Structure 1
Amino acid sequence: MIRRVRDKAWNYLYKSLRYCVHLLRFWLAFIYSKRLKNVSFIGITGSAGKTTAKDLSANILRTAGECHSTPRSLNYPDGISQILLKVRPRHRFCVLEVSGGNPGDMDRPLRLFTPSIAVLTLIARDHFKAHKSLEAIAREKSKLIKALPAQGVAVLNIDDPLVRAIGESCDQKVIWVGETKGANLRLLSARSSWPEPLTLEVEYEGRVYQAKTGLHGKHLALSALSALGVGLAADISLMTAMTAIAEVKPAEGRMEVVSTDGDITFLRDDWKAPHWSFSAPLEFMAEAEAKRKILVIGTLSDYSLSASKLYPKVAKQALEVGDIVIFVGPHAPRAAKAKGDTGIQNLHAFSEIREAAAFLNALLEPGDLVLLKGSNKADHLVRLMYNTQKPVSCWVSRCGIQSFCGDCSKLYKPIPSNPATVLTKDNSDSTNNMPLAGHDSGRKVIIGLGNPGSKYQNTPHNAGYRLLDRMAKKSHGSWISCSEGLVCEINIAGETLSLFKPAAKINNSGPPTRLFLERIGANINSCWVVHDEMDLTLGQAKLKQGGGDAGHRGLKSVIASLGSSNIKRLRIGARRADDAGTAKTSVLRPLSRSDETALEKGIDRAIDILLRETAAPVRANET
């Protein structure tokens, strides 16, 4: 009781002190703003695109004079006070991003500055919970437009009905931007197909211009158009403005491209994730050209459906675009329901981001394009990217810190000595030094080798995966994501078997396999590795214990990671009568209908062998 009262008292004191600090800062900024009469203020608001429009506008205005602008997204009322105190009378321009996230949020900032140019990008469901309706959001945002002096200029999105209504009642000059006929800056087309950046075709005063940017995603065309409109309002030529926007890189966490040392590209759109905006990055990924497209999705916001209906729906949409889809966070199990009874293998769900990090590190390979889409405050998904380069220390969920993790001192610590803690490319081979002893827990594990992704399902190389899928289906088992891969517990004749698919390309199956076996305390003597075998024809299946890898790189990885070649292998024939190429090309060549029938017979024989083996000692070279 005493502790609860004390905590409430401290909380009240903290809030009171913070309010006093904010109020003091406001009045200091209010007094100081009187010295800034020669500074032209540009205010930018809207439900999306503010930060990008702000960065582009500032770079355009710098071609005409010294310009100060909002750092990152410091767009809340007290943030505006902080920015004003850093503006100097020598500045010709100051670009301010203004949020309006809550009713009345616009009032205090507009007492500090009068915009000469005001931009309103669009009205959407951001902060819908606070405002209760789109019309209420529009009313709050419109305060910036109404604050314009008689000679001021509004830059407005003609395509948004609510924004258009605001502009039509505006007495000041309006520069309309958008696709609709009648726009002063009319967008004729937008192209953004990875790896090419966003390029716009714009019509202005009867002439057509091509504007190149350093941005990615067609949805950012509105931000670019708005910035060009700001340039025109400031009497800067369109050609000069287009040159300026080409120099600007994406803001952090807003369709920002980051390439890692391992030739893996991350597309960071992890600042916020309102559901209404989710289609934009999906469209971008659909049109992107990449070896594999991996979508990592965190916490969504501002949605009208219940979470139990929303996340499975989003998962299905993502699966249409990505080769692999990973959900992270408390709603991830809801997304996993999209699997249903279909046995989808490329959808994974992790409640804990640390488990997702281990899974992703084992999965990634050069040429991958990875989208991180989530809410930074809720998820901090950027840790998944940092962890691919150096083991991350902090895996706290909802730490409450708004800033990105790159600025946090708690992000890193030395590489952990226990290889099961975090699987990274730096320490994944550290498991090779000592044979896996296990704890002889009695658990029997069937390890199926294969490649994740639908394009590999119909190839001989995925024989191990296919056998496990068959066993899981016959036993009505369900696949569950873990940090090392996928696991399914089944019961056959009173015997519990753990079916395991490593979360890695087949040639890198070893590290996640060892981590899984260590975590569950299994011994290699109670494990069977199922893989394709080019020395056997389709339809054959043989059991073997010990020996070399016969050129199978997946088996080689497992042997190296487990530290022993004395492994039971169930080999499923993969050689076809018409195979004339190398083993590498043959095992990845899709199966014909007759070949698939033959492979299924081999899998049937392998299952029969396996069922006998799980109840009896190993018999080498059994047919």
Structure 2
Amino acid sequence: MAGVELKLLLRRIRRNARHRAKLYLAKQARAKSRATFIGVTGSSGKSTTSALLAHLLAGHASVCSQVFANTIMALVSALRKRVSSSNFDYVVSELGAGKDSIGPMAELLRPSVAVVTMVRLEHFTKFKTLANVADEKRLLVEALPADGLAILNADDPYVRTMAVGAECRVVTFGMSDDADYRISDVRAGYPEPLTFKIHWKQNTLALKAPFPADYFWLPLAAATASALELGVPPEMVASRLETFLPLQNRCEVLVTGTGPAFIIDTAKAPWHSIDLAIEMMSKATARRKRIVLGQISDYAGSSRKYGAAYKSAREAADQVIYVGDNAHRSRASEADRDSGRFQEIRSVKDVSEFIKQTALPGELILLKSSSNLHLERVALSWTHDVRCWVAACGKEEGCGACGLYEVPFEQHRARVRQRRRARRWQFIRHFLNRVALKRIQTTRFKSLF
């Protein structure tokens, strides 16, 4: 028993030593870099804001972006592996808020620019109140130097108050009349793309982006205001915005040709986003509209949320399908069940088969769920041979990022090991080729004398 405890202790010591070494290298990389570091946080919209801002800046500068993976270990890895080896003009990092996580990340990143999109009560079990969420995200603004720049949502009172006491310059965006970058004329309704106007100083810029929902104006406005403040020409902002597509599983649109079109919104499903998704469907135009609702993310309150969601969804769509462990909580009437307006289906695979049997060409189907169900497989099955239908794989990344959805789940571990061996041998071959090339060059050089 003592031997086992000693092994565990040694393993913990080695792990801590590796972590300290990586953290030291990340700090060294940050200290040596001359890039402008930008931190983006918010309860929603931070991934889209980060990716779009990097896309806009890349039109006239070199950019390193860290999106989706928003933990301190992801930041350490990005600094250590990417920032240390290249001379970037900008580094855009998405910072996720766990309890007491923004502070250490902001201290490591030492940003010159901070962007805050919104404050909502996500991760309820960690934060409990909106004020606690705001206090955590405020730490990013407080980490800015005196000559730094904070770009804040003027429409969110919790974000707006982050300007109070800030020692750096503050710029606001939003629909409020006093916003520095004011948004107006927001319109969207599938299949028509999102359009809006942004006004600042004496300028007005009309923008268009291929998004199916009007609420995406917020992260797009945050990124646009940031890019304009950082010197990207307005005409470049407009042209590059038109080429930016929704991120994977974040209202990503998949048109299947002769089959249905899918709006895939399966990265997360906090309660505040459910009504937004349903409203998007109510504004859409299609031959038939269906909503597939899976798992609602961490929220305060009882399972009555599923009943409230169904009440709204049935008004926006011709059919509503509930899937997963909470499928029975819809409170749908017997009349809706009997008529087929509501369907309760427990497994994602069964939902996929049901939709294939009942699909109409040109209909629109919204897939809305938190990431644990991997509901995106319903759409992927129209274009790929999906063979991984496990109920809960435990992976946080989407099926597209995982790439193993065409492999049965029980074979995933072996396939991952195979990938690692292939990468290892590729590295070894690359290293040996470099050694051989160096020897050849040395021999040729010596032959000249």
Give the shorter-chain TM-score range. Answer: 0.7 to 0.9
Give 1 or 2: higher helix fraction: 2
Residues 404 and 240 (structure 1), Cα distance of their counterparts in 2 relative to 1, 3 Å cut: same
Is 1:232 the counterpart of 2:231? The answer is no
Residues 228 and 195 (structure 1), Cα distance of their counterparts in 2 relative to 1, 3 Å cut: same
1:119 aligned residue (108, 115, 118): 115
8 A Cα contact 1:276 1:302, kept in partner: no
Match for 2:405: what amino acid? L
Deviations 1:547-579 (A, max 9, x none): xxxxxxxxxxxxxxxxxxxxxxxxxxxxxxxxx
1:29 aligned residue (23, 26, 29): 26
C-alpha displacement of 1:75: 0.7
2:269 aligned residue (269, 273, 282): 273
More moved, 17-26 vs 273-282: 17-26
Q: 2-side partners of 1:365 and 1:136: how far apart? A: 46
2:284 aligned residue (280, 283, 288): 288
Q: 2-side partners of 1:255 and 1:8: how far apart? A: 48
For residue 193 of structure 2, give the secondary structure of its aligned residue in structure 1.
coil
Is 1:383 the counterpart of 2:411? The answer is no
Map of 2:392 onto structure 1: 398
Correspondence 1:517-596 to 2 at 5 A: none
Residues 408 and 93 (structure 1), Cα distance of their counterparts in 2 relative to 1, 3 Å cut: closer
Correspondence 1:445-524 to 2 at 5 A: none
2:48 aligned residue (49, 52, 63): 52
Q: TM-score, normalised by structure 2?
A: 0.84
> Highest relative contact order (Cα 8 Å, sep 6+), 1 or 2?
2
For residue 197 of structure 1, give the secondary structure of its aligned residue in structure 2.
strand
The count of residues paired between Structure 1 and Structure 2 equals: 405
Map of 2:329 onto structure 1: 334
Is 1:171 the counterpart of 2:194? The answer is no
8 A Cα contact 1:118 1:154, kept in partner: yes
8 A Cα contact 1:276 1:303, kept in partner: no
Q: 2-side partners of 1:55 and 1:410: how far apart? A: 24
Deviations 1:156-180 (A, max 9, x none): 0000011111113222111110011
Q: 2-side partners of 1:134 and 1:8: how far apart? A: 42
Map of 2:209 onto structure 1: 213
Q: 1-side partners of 2:377 and 2:309: how far apart? A: 23
For residue 180 of structure 1, give the secondary structure of its aligned residue in structure 2.
coil
Correspondence 1:339-418 to 2 at 5 A: 339-340=333-334, 343-376=338-371, 378-408=372-402, 410-412=404-406
C-alpha displacement of 1:110: 2.1
Map of 1:250 onto structure 2: 246
Map of 2:317 onto structure 1: 322
For residue 320 of structure 1, give the secondary structure of its aligned residue in structure 2.
helix
For residue 33 of structure 1, give the secondary structure of its aligned residue in structure 2.
helix
Map of 1:499 onto structure 2: none
8 A Cα contact 1:297 1:373, kept in partner: yes
**Bigger Rg over Cα:** 1
C-alpha displacement of 1:40: 0.4
Map of 1:96 onto structure 2: 93
8 A Cα contact 1:190 1:199, kept in partner: yes
Residues 254 and 91 (structure 1), Cα distance of their counterparts in 2 relative to 1, 3 Å cut: same
Map of 2:196 onto structure 1: 200
Correspondence 1:122-201 to 2 at 5 A: 122-201=118-197
Q: 1-side partners of 2:8 and 2:397: how far apart? A: 22
Q: 2-side partners of 1:151 and 1:407: how far apart? A: 38
Residues 235 and 287 (structure 1), Cα distance of their counterparts in 2 relative to 1, 3 Å cut: same
Match for 2:323: what amino acid? V
Taking only the aligned residue pairs, the percentage that are identical comes to: 30
Q: 2-side partners of 1:330 and 1:42: how far apart? A: 40
8 A Cα contact 1:30 1:111, kept in partner: no
8 A Cα contact 1:128 1:137, kept in partner: no
Match for 1:171: what amino acid? E
Map of 2:412 onto structure 1: none
Map of 1:613 onto structure 2: none
For residue 199 of structure 2, give the secondary structure of its aligned residue in structure 1.
strand
Residues 215 and 409 (structure 1), Cα distance of their counterparts in 2 relative to 1, 3 Å cut: closer
Deviations 1:376-433 (A, max 9, x none): 1x1000111122334422211221111111344642259xxxxxxxxxxxxxxxxxxx
Correspondence 1:577-616 to 2 at 5 A: none
Is 1:298 the counterpart of 2:313? The answer is no
For residue 221 of structure 1, give the secondary structure of its aligned residue in structure 2.
helix
C-alpha displacement of 1:131: 1.4
Deviations 1:38-90 (A, max 9, x none): 1100110000000111111112211231011014x011110111111212442
Q: 2-side partners of 1:202 and 1:215: how far apart? A: 17
Q: 2-side partners of 1:181 and 1:381: how far apart? A: 40
Q: 1-side partners of 2:251 and 2:105: how far apart? A: 28
C-alpha displacement of 1:360: 1.4
Match for 1:99: what amino acid? G
C-alpha displacement of 1:8: 11
Q: 2-side partners of 1:208 and 1:278: how far apart? A: 32
C-alpha displacement of 1:132: 1.9
1:222 aligned residue (218, 221, 228): 218
8 A Cα contact 1:61 1:231, kept in partner: yes
For residue 366 of structure 2, give the secondary structure of its aligned residue in structure 1.
strand
C-alpha displacement of 1:19: 5.5
8 A Cα contact 1:70 1:96, kept in partner: yes
C-alpha displacement of 1:189: 2.0
Q: 2-side partners of 1:208 and 1:28: how far apart? A: 44
Q: 2-side partners of 1:15 and 1:323: how far apart? A: 55
8 A Cα contact 2:269 2:296, kept in partner: yes
Map of 1:508 onto structure 2: none
More moved, 9-18 vs 268-277: 9-18
8 A Cα contact 2:196 2:217, kept in partner: yes
Unaligned stretches of 5+ in structure 2? 409-449
Residues 397 and 23 (structure 1), Cα distance of their counterparts in 2 relative to 1, 3 Å cut: farther
Q: 1-side partners of 2:191 and 2:125: how far apart? A: 37
8 A Cα contact 2:123 2:299, kept in partner: no
C-alpha displacement of 1:209: 2.4
Q: 2-side partners of 1:408 and 1:301: how far apart? A: 21
Map of 2:308 onto structure 1: 313
C-alpha displacement of 1:220: 1.0
Map of 2:71 onto structure 1: 76
Deviations 1:260-301 (A, max 9, x none): 243421111110000111111111110111111111111001
8 A Cα contact 1:155 1:175, kept in partner: yes
Unaligned stretches of 5+ in structure 1? 415-623
For residue 135 of structure 1, give the secondary structure of its aligned residue in structure 2.
helix
For residue 268 of structure 1, give the secondary structure of its aligned residue in structure 2.
strand
Residues 10 and 259 (structure 1), Cα distance of their counterparts in 2 relative to 1, 3 Å cut: farther
Match for 2:328: what amino acid? P
C-alpha displacement of 1:24: 3.4
